Amino acid sequence: MAEKVLGVVGGSGLYAIDGLEDAAWRTVEGPWGKPSDQILEGRIGDTKVCFLPRHGRGHVESPTTINYRANIDALKRCGVTDIISLSAVGSLREDLPPGTFVIVDQFIDRTFAREKSFFGKGMVAHVPLSHPVSSWIGNIAQAGMEQIGIPHHRGGTYVVMEGPQFSTLAESELYRSWGASVIGMTNMPEAKLAREAEIRYATVAMVTDFDCWHPDHDTVDVALVVKTLHDNADKARALTKFMVENINSWGTEPTCGTDTILDAALITQPDARDPAMVAKLDAVAGRVLGG
């Protein structure tokens, strides 16, 4: 089994990883523009980890202005095989209070102002997304939370809204009626792009508030959110360390097909492919395009 490189995409409140050896911030350039920040590369034991603060250090990117394509492309160029996404979210369920970590298994994408694919005119591809996360990465995350003592829940649907404003009450109640578990602003198109780049992906959604549907919390209190963010960040760093320490020794990985997903996804015939598009896809799809 090939050695895995864990990519960690840190959300609000998580801007560094503890315990990295030989850590250094690396500038990664690619054809999709500038990533949110440099990538912090290092090792924990024998495992390489690449950390990218999704909003940039200091939180300078809004959910809409994040260059998701550049972020995933940069992680791919660093050799990342698996991504754990750590994201602050609001809860849509009474049994998922602030401080709970949710290992998400589905998404509803409500974003509308973002580039959502590496592919397009001149090089078309359609990747399957029925099961958008890696249950194997989720298993490691769950084991880590059990060992560390983090309140958590396995499974749930994450509604991804455009933002940056929080929900109206009507929107919050609508998403609850759909049976969704949490709501946030960042995991789409991130998960879609990771799939296109043949990188396994999983989300740990860290609950900071009850959105605005809860009768005892009918508005999102930013001060409370920030406090919970800091509490969650300490737990997230401990979880990340556990995952890096264990990802290369965690039993037999089930065959999920993500690392070869493009074999049956490319639809543009070779003689019709735009050479400029093919060149831009050198990291993301080089395995199948000969890059």
88 is in an annotated binding site: yes
Q: Return the HEC string of 32-93.
A: CCCCCCCEEEEEECCEEEEEEECCCCCCCCCCCCCCHHHHHHHHHHCCCCEEEEEEEEEECC
Quote the longest CA-to-CA distance of the chain: 61
pLDDT at 212: 83
Rounded to an integer, the average pLDDT of 47-65 is 94
Q: Who wins on pLDDT, 281 or 217?
A: 281
For 247, phi then psi, to 5°, come to -65, -30
Q: What is the mean pLDDT of residues 13-33?
A: 87
Q: Known binder of ligand: residue 55?
A: yes
150 CB neighbour count, 10 Å cutoff: 20
12 is an annotated ligand-binding site residue: yes
DSSP for 201-245, written as a single string: EEEEEEEEE-TTTSTT--S--HHHHHHHHHHHHHHHHHHHHHHHH
Backbone angles phi, psi at 89, to 5 degrees: -140, 165
Ligand-binding annotation for 134, yes or no, is no
> Nearest to residue 50, comparing CAs of 24, 86, 69?
24
Question: Rounded CA gap, 5 and 7, in Å?
Answer: 6
Q: What is the pLDDT of residues 216-269, one digit of tens each?
A: 665 656 667 677 777 788 899 899 999 999 999 997 666 679 999 999 999 999
Spatial distance between the Cα atoms of 185 and 158, rounded to a whole number of angstroms: 10
66-85 residue pLDDT tens: 999 999 999 999 999 999 99
211 is in an annotated binding site: yes
The domains found in the chain, sorted by start residue, are 88-289 (3.40.50.1580)
pTM: 0.95
Positions marked active-site: 209, 211
CA distance 82 to 276: 28
Cα 208 to chain centroid, rounded: 17
Cα dihedral sign for 277, 61, 59, 193? negative
Query: How does pLDDT run across 173-203, given as a tens digit for each residue?
Result: 999 999 999 999 999 999 999 999 999 999 9
CA distances to 73, 143, 154, 203 from 47, in Å: 21, 18, 26, 20
| 51 annotated among ligand-binding-site residues | no
Tokens of 227: 């406090």
282 is in an annotated binding site: no
